[in-house]
Amino acid sequence: MMKLDSEEVQRITREMNRYLDGITIEELMMIRQKRFFYEVRLSETQCKQEIMTLDLSQRAYNCLRRAGVNTVGQILDRFHDTGDQSSKHQLQQLKNLGKGTADEILMKLFFYQFSVLPEEKRASYMKRVLEMNIQAVA
């Protein structure tokens, strides 16, 4: 399974930008700084991948492991938006896990999601991400 290191994240970012019209993923994330929306469409096999697949910082990795989170699927199961709490807020409840680390985990999860999508589904996925975030601004 692909590991998301900085070079890989840069490559994925360039690819994401190919599918966005008139805006880059970086600009979209800046606009949506407080709450960035995306759908997760991972298979059962992808959810079973260990969290090291996300290439997290040592702090993020250790905080998740201490909380008993070992797989990508466990992140999704335990930290997802509810009516009154965002996944970011829920992550920040873990010991030694602050805003920056929560952002890192959620962004690495987003990049992982995109990287494992079949090529023919990437354009429609990015269109949906754009719609979700522009709609949230309006």
How does pLDDT run across 80-133, given as a tens digit for each residue?
Answer: 877 677 888 999 999 999 998 998 999 999 999 999 999 999 999 999 999 988
Confirm whether 53 is domain-assigned: yes
Confirm whether 116 is domain-assigned: yes
Confirm whether 102 is domain-assigned: yes
Confirm whether 124 is domain-assigned: yes
User: So what's the pLDDT on residue 81?
Assistant: 76
Confirm whether 118 is domain-assigned: yes
Report the CATH number at residue 105.
Answer: 1.10.150.20
pTM: 0.86
Confirm whether 138 is domain-assigned: no
DSSP the chain: -----HHHHHHHHHHHHHH-SSS-HHHHHHHTSS---------HHHHTSBGGGG---HHHHHHHHHTT--BHHHHHHHS---SS--HHHHHTTSTT--HHHHHHHHHHHHHHHHHHS-HHHHHHHHHHHHHHHHHHH-
What is the count of structural domains for the chain?
1
Confirm whether 1 is domain-assigned: no
User: So what's the pLDDT on residue 101?
Assistant: 93
Confirm whether 93 is domain-assigned: yes
User: So what's the pLDDT on residue 120?
Assistant: 96
Question: The domain containing residue 48 runs over which residues?
Answer: 6-133
